[in-house]
Structure 1
Amino acid sequence: MKLTDQELKDLCLKTRHVVENDLEALQPEIEQTHVFPKEYFDICRENKLFALTLPEQFGGLGLSVEQFFPVLEEICRGPGGMRMNLHYANGLDWDILYEHGSQKLKDKYMNKFASGEFFTNFALTEPDCGTGADIRTTAVKKGSKWVLNGKKTLISHTDISGASYVIAVTDENKRKKGGITAFFVEQDLPGFTVEPMPHMMGCRGAGHGYIFLKDVEVDDDHVLGNVGEGLEIFMDALALSRASIGVSCLGLSQRFLELAIARAKDRVTFGKPLIKRQAVQQMIADMGTQVYALRTILMDTARQFDHGESIEMKASMSKLFGIDTVRTVSDSCLEIFGGIGYFEDNPYGPVERMYRDARALWFEEGPRTVQRLTAARPLIANGGFIE
């Protein structure tokens, strides 16, 4: 679906209202229970927040990335756990199945994503190794079945998902070149178990878990793409997700900036509002500059994706710059707020919770070191040229 500029603006404003009113109202309970209540799913379903990018044929709005990113920015102003869930729901959740799944699996599941009745999870990371070619989970072909064994960790949404995208080593001698395969694995299969992880500092409600695979058997039609293409499928899917993490940084940073300005106008020291002090004005100018630059980078990346071009380098740059932005902007906001910003439930805005939520962005879809490596490779190959 191609929205007009006014339709997109209206959708963004509506989404902001839903996020900062309806969804925010649920967060105090979630901070205590660490679980999304039924009302969360009802609100998201009613406002099609699970289906912004989902193709129209499956009940979604079918937004392009360039139109989705402004809406996602509004979502990312809100509670971090909900942001984490909705960012995934509009990307990795359905896209890998749609692009690489068998027709049998697509016929069974693609119509279930729009309502939020069915979620997947992205089971890549493993304990005691990196997130990539050095994974230890294995899949061995035995007759007509693939038998999977291994352990995954730090996997989001395991408490609400019904299936996992799993990559496993299928040829130990190849690894990086054709030795890793992706699978679609239902969580109700024998040998598939999930254990909850300890609660996180922030982003509460987005349940994380350990996944254990003990002789889990799947058919050939549960292979995603072709045998040996798993690493490429997962890394390609991660590119857009990394750019979406940049949008997550942007949404939080924009709200931090707004809260900082409002607090600086209201807070008086020595008979003078903080907003009148040049040092504070300079902080606000720096915050605004970073927010503007990040938004510009992200929209350029979105346009490139919609044109069918590779965004691997720019997606990593987006996340890398996004982390730097939200770190600087959140620190400045807290400094402007003063001690009251460190307290829960302060009357000026959820700065304390937002500050905790922001720190999860350091690790989602790979840390800064990984983003630098990913961005450096094409820069070096092209002699520093950026298209």
Structure 2
Amino acid sequence: MKLSDEELNKLITHTRKVVEEELEPLQPEIEQTNVFPEEFFDICRKNGFFGLTVPEEYGGKGLNVEQFFPVLEQICRGPGGMRMNLHHANGLDWRIMYEHGSKKLRDKWMPKLANADLYINFALTEPDCGSGADIRSTAVKKGGKWVINGEKTLISHTDIANGTYVIAVTDENKRKKGGLTAFFVETDLPGFNVEPMPHMMGCRGAGHAYLHLKDVEVDEDHVLGNVGDGLDIFMDALALSRASIGVSCLGLSQRFLELAIARAKDRVTFGKPLVKRQAIQQMIADMGTQVYALRSILWDTARQFDRGENIEMKSSMCKLHGIDTVRTVSDSCLEIFGGIGYFEDNPYGPVERMYRDARALWFEEGPRTVQRLTAARPLIENGGNIE
């Protein structure tokens, strides 16, 4: 669905209002319990937040990415765990099923994803190895079933997931090209076990855990795409998700900037507001410049995705620049706040919590080193041509 400019602006304004007035007040409890209350799901269902990008045929709003990103930015101003949940629901959750699932799976699952009546998480990362061709989980064909064994770590939303996208080695001799296969695994199958992880520094409520798969049997129609397509399917899905992480950096950075300016206007040292000092003005100008640059490359990448173009290189650039932006802007904000910014419940805003939430963005969908490699390869092949 293509919204008019007026409709999109109303949705953006409404989303920010809901995030600030209804979702944000839930966070103090979540910081302690590390679990989303049912009220979170009720609010998000009522406002259609789980189905912003889900196709209209399955009950969603069907927003394209260019229109979704400004809405996601408003969500990303709020608590990090909620942002993770809604970013996932509108990206990895439905899109892999829609593009690569069998008709049987699509018919069963897609109609229920727009309201999070069912939820699917994404299981790629493993302990003691990486998140790509070096994974150790295996899937072996036995009769009409695939038998999966392995362990996954740092997997989010395990406390609410009804299904999981799992990648496993199906041909040890190929690995990087045709040796990994993606599966859809329902979480109530025998041999599928969840082991909760300790509380994270930030992004509380996101339900991170280890997954243990011991002789888990799935039907042939639970293969996503074709046998051997797993790595391509997962990497393709991560491209858009990495750009969405850039939006997460943008939402937080914009809010850090606003809080920093508000504090600089109120904070007086030696009889003069901080905002009147040239050093602070220069810091604010640098913060604003980085935010503006990040927003510009994100919107350009969104338009390219909607045109059906390959965004793998640019999405990594978005995440790379996003991390640099939120790091600089959050550090500057904390410096302008002074000691009060290091405390919980300061009267200006949740700077301390936001600072912790921001650090998760370093690792989601791969660290900065991975983003550099992903961006460098096509740049080198094309002689530096970014377009």
Distance apart, 1:120 and its partner CA: 0.7
1:299-347 deviation per Cα after TM superposition (whole angstroms, max 9, x unaligned): 0000000000000000000000000000000000000000000000000
* Distance in 2 (alpha carbons) for counterparts of 1:265 and 1:19: 25
| Residue 372 in structure 1 maps to residue 369 in structure 2 | no
Secondary structure of the structure 2 residue equivalent to 1:90 = helix
| Residue 357 in structure 1 maps to residue 357 in structure 2 | yes
Unaligned stretches of 5+ in structure 1?
A: none
Letter in 2 for 1:150: G
| Residue 128 in structure 1 maps to residue 140 in structure 2 | no
* Distance in 2 (alpha carbons) for counterparts of 1:27 and 1:126: 29
Letter in 2 for 1:107: D
* Distance in 2 (alpha carbons) for counterparts of 1:51 and 1:194: 26
1:59-87 deviation per Cα after TM superposition (whole angstroms, max 9, x unaligned): 10000000000000000000000001000
Give the % identical residues: 83
- Please list every run of at least 4 consecutive aligned residues from structure 1 whose deviation after the TM superposition is greater than 6 angstroms: none
* Distance in 2 (alpha carbons) for counterparts of 1:192 and 1:28: 32
Letter in 2 for 1:229: D
1:4-44 deviation per Cα after TM superposition (whole angstroms, max 9, x unaligned): 11111110000000001100010010011000000000000
Q: Identify the residue that residue 146 of structure 2 maps to in structure 1.
A: 146
1:108-133 deviation per Cα after TM superposition (whole angstroms, max 9, x unaligned): 11011111111111000000111000
Letter in 2 for 1:15: T
Distance apart, 1:190 and its partner CA: 0.5
Distance apart, 1:235 and its partner CA: 0.2
Q: Please report the RMSD computed on the Cα atoms of aligned residues, expressed in angstroms.
A: 0.4
Letter in 2 for 1:234: F
Secondary structure of the structure 1 residue equivalent to 2:48 = coil
Distance apart, 1:158 and its partner CA: 0.5
Q: How many residues align?
A: 387
* Distance in 2 (alpha carbons) for counterparts of 1:322 and 1:213: 34
Q: Identify the residue that residue 155 of structure 1 maps to in structure 2.
A: 155
* Distance in 2 (alpha carbons) for counterparts of 1:61 and 1:145: 36
Letter in 1 for 2:382: N
Distance apart, 1:184 and its partner CA: 0.2
Secondary structure of the structure 1 residue equivalent to 2:50 = coil
Letter in 1 for 2:27: Q
1:178-218 deviation per Cα after TM superposition (whole angstroms, max 9, x unaligned): 11000000000010000101110000010101001100001
Q: Identify the residue that residue 179 of structure 1 maps to in structure 2.
A: 179
* Distance in 1 (alpha carbons) for counterparts of 2:308 and 2:204: 35
Secondary structure of the structure 2 residue equivalent to 1:50 = helix
Letter in 1 for 2:256: F
* Distance in 2 (alpha carbons) for counterparts of 1:201 and 1:257: 22
* Distance in 1 (alpha carbons) for counterparts of 2:108 and 2:53: 19
TM-score (norm 1): 1.00
* Distance in 2 (alpha carbons) for counterparts of 1:33 and 1:168: 33
1:76-112 deviation per Cα after TM superposition (whole angstroms, max 9, x unaligned): 0000000010000100001100000000011111011
* Distance in 2 (alpha carbons) for counterparts of 1:9 and 1:287: 25
Q: Identify the residue that residue 199 of structure 1 maps to in structure 2.
A: 199
Secondary structure of the structure 1 residue equivalent to 2:154 = strand
1:277-319 deviation per Cα after TM superposition (whole angstroms, max 9, x unaligned): 0000000000000000000000000000000000000000000
Q: How does 1:1-387 map to 2 (within 5 A)?
A: 1-387=1-387
1:36-57 deviation per Cα after TM superposition (whole angstroms, max 9, x unaligned): 0000000000000001000001
Distance apart, 1:170 and its partner CA: 0.3
* Distance in 2 (alpha carbons) for counterparts of 1:63 and 1:345: 36
